[in-house]
Chain A
Amino acid sequence: MAALEVRGLRKQFGGVVALNGIDLDIDTDRVVGIVGPNGSGKTTLFNVVAGVHPATGGTVRWQGQDITNIGAHRIARKRLVRTFQQAMSFPGLTVDENVRIAWEQGRRDDSRWASPGMILDFVGLAPLGRAIAGSLPFGSLRRLGLAVALGVSPELLLLDEPGAGLNDSEAQAFAAVIAQLPPQGIGVCLIDHDMDMMADLCDRLVVLDFGTKIAEGPPGEVLSDPKVREVYLGPDKKAAAS
């Protein structure tokens, strides 16, 4: 049984079907990548799984419990934690306080981090602890977003385009940090558009298109799948289909 089991998940915004019956199993010992064109429902999948939006149909089970629509904060307390596509922080507070807030919420006797400072060290923000989060350069803000999520001591981390807006070297550094997570018992489910990085980093890729899972498997296999190539390389065909 996988740690996270998504079954027949549907989400409709008025007339827009953002998720059209998604089935997904994710374990906490690896990196699973989710790819797909813009508007294919990747962020919505995270939002519904993490309880930001209620599901229209289907179920989400986490560690054997049904967590569908139980509310975002309860899901986070169960150590299923997500980051946001738009880099988010508590902008008026210091970097230290940002991470401490999350760390205090996720604190348990067996917490991975003995102090918020350890998390800042891990993501490389330690020298900026006293900076106001809202004044951080974008790259650091991205890292702060990761640090805040890690503060909750997640067992599975849903990362929504953590590399978006970063330059190449920053993105590479970020990927290096993400690769360190599964060996420490933090599963990662990652959305990103950089196919080379995703192929490198992920043990498994899931491809969404129009709210439907069209392919799933090892990156090499998935990226050579004709259906996937059509979605990514045949915009004219796609335009004709829609």
Chain B
Amino acid sequence: MPMIDQSAGKTGGAPEGVRPRDRLALLTADNAAVPLPAGVQAITAILLAGLLIALPWLGLGYRFLSIAITTLYTAIGLYGLGLQFGQAGIMSVGHAALMGVGAYASAILSVQLGLGFWTSLPFAMALSAIVGGVIGLPTLRVGGQHYIIITFCFCALFVIVLTNGGTFTGSATGLDVGSVTPLPGINFDKLSNNYYLVLAALFLALAATYLIGISRYGRTLRAIRENEQLARSVGINVDLHKLGVLMVSGLFAGLAGVLQLYYLRHISPTLFGAFPSLYLALMVMLGGARYLYGPLIGAIIVNFLPEVLNLEPVDARIAYGICLLLVILLLPGGVGAGIKNIYLAIRGGLETQGGGSNGRA
């Protein structure tokens, strides 16, 4: 056979026999493309699911559980952003507005037509998806920077429209809704039940993200992220796929927005403006958009950091800024990348010492 390469390239992940001075480089590398063993993935998923399911029983208190709910619905929105940014490479800084489209659609359907949580949910998600696609439409051909600016403008415009929408949008005061229509035997007024509702949605978002990631569709998105021109030349309809992923991202945002609405029971325009949007971008970068648990990690850090460190809002903003700088400098792939790299390093180290591979760090 022709062409056997003598100078084999280095494989991704942890090369054998890592020298200490390469440790830092190892930690900062982006190994999103390196596949993890199925066993490790399964154990991580089971442990995480178990922890999240057990959370309301750990006696951590009402306030903790409230923050946990906020974290989870935020994470659902972030999974959409993770898909469009992490997989397809399209960053948005107006993502809270897309969640707002879902939240307001559901709230208006409730106020005007009396539709409850379950009936309005599909409409709200569909509307977020359509709006997500429409925002992307003018920028398909001109690239990412334009899209970022458009999302920011959309976000500003959205708040202005809501604030001036009269009784229809509730203006600056916003809109109120009732509670989630109970299912047989489950009353969502109880905080832990509301938590489980949001957790179920998060599991759906995680499953969808995982399945997209390992599918042909996910690979197509990554191809577009990595090299648009080459993607076209192997037959990928780049424009259509970009539009598609923005709409899928909109579905996640709509779901997150409706969950947010029915948790808070009251929404107002400021929830969906520039600051919340930037926080979403911050969270997805902190956690690591390309990693399955990255968005969730990002949401946990940003929502719990002020609580854990007992920070005032202004101090929290400074802390977020510092976090973001640290991550950009040390972990360009996000905290998710760091955790995976630690695992890869440990596994690599154990393997070179003749030991077996073990669970995750």
A84 within 8 Å of B (CB atoms) = yes
Judge whether A50 is part of the interface by a CB distance below 8 angstroms.
Answer: yes
List the A residue with the shortest CB-CB distance to B11: A131
Q: Given A89-B227, A90-B222, A177-B2, is A137 in contact with B9 using a C-beta cutoff of 8 Å?
A: yes
Contact residues in A for B1 (Cβ distance below 8 Å): 121, 124
A97 touches B12 (CB 8 A): no
Are the C-beta atoms of B3 and A97 separated by less than 8 Å? no
Q: How large is the interface on B (under 10, 10 to 19, 20 to 34, 35 or more residues)?
A: 35 or more
Of residues 7 to 50 in B, which have CB atoms within 8 Å of A's CB atoms? 7-13, 30, 32-35
* B-contacting 9-mer, from A33-41, A59-67, A98-106: A98-106
User: Is the pair A139, B7 in contact by a Cβ cutoff of 8 Å?
Assistant: yes
Q: Are A102 and B234 in contact, CB atoms less than 8 angstroms apart?
A: yes
Partner pick for B235 among A89, A97, A105, A123, CB 8 A cutoff: A105
Q: Closest approach, in angstroms, between the C-beta of A240 and any C-beta of chain B?
A: 38
Q: Are A52 and B3 in contact (CB under 8 A)?
A: no
Q: Which residue of B lies closest to A129 (CB)?
A: B11
Specify the chain A residue showing the minimal Cβ separation from B222. A93
Does A82 have its Cβ within 8 Å of any Cβ on chain B? yes
Number of interface residues of A (CB under 8 A): 48
Q: How far is the CB of B59 from chain A (nearest CB, A)?
A: 44
Given the known A-B contacts A135-B12, A176-B2, are A76 and B223 also in contact in the complex, defined by CB atoms under 8 Å? no
The answer, among B32, B225, B235, for a CB contact under 8 Å with A73, is B235
Q: For chain B residues 232-287, which have a beta carbon within 8 Å of chain A?
A: 232-238
A141 (CB) vs chain B CBs: closest residue: B9
Given contacts A76-B234, A97-B33, A140-B9, contact A173 B3 (CB under 8 A): yes
A127 touches B8 (CB 8 A): yes
**One of A50, A82, A94 near B33 (C-beta < 8 A):** A94
Nearest-neighbor residue (CB-CB) of A173 within chain B:
B3
Residue of B nearest to A153 (CB): B235
> Can you list 13 pairs linking A and B with CB atoms under 8 Å apart?
A52-B233, A82-B233, A84-B229, A89-B230, A93-B33, A93-B222, A97-B33, A106-B235, A131-B9, A131-B11, A131-B12, A135-B11, A140-B8
A interface with B by C-beta (< 8 Å): 50, 52, 71-73, 76-77, 81-82, 84, 88-94, 97, 100-102, 104-106, 121, 123-125, 127-128, 130-132, 135-137, 139-140, 143, 148-149, 151-152, 170, 173-174, 176-177
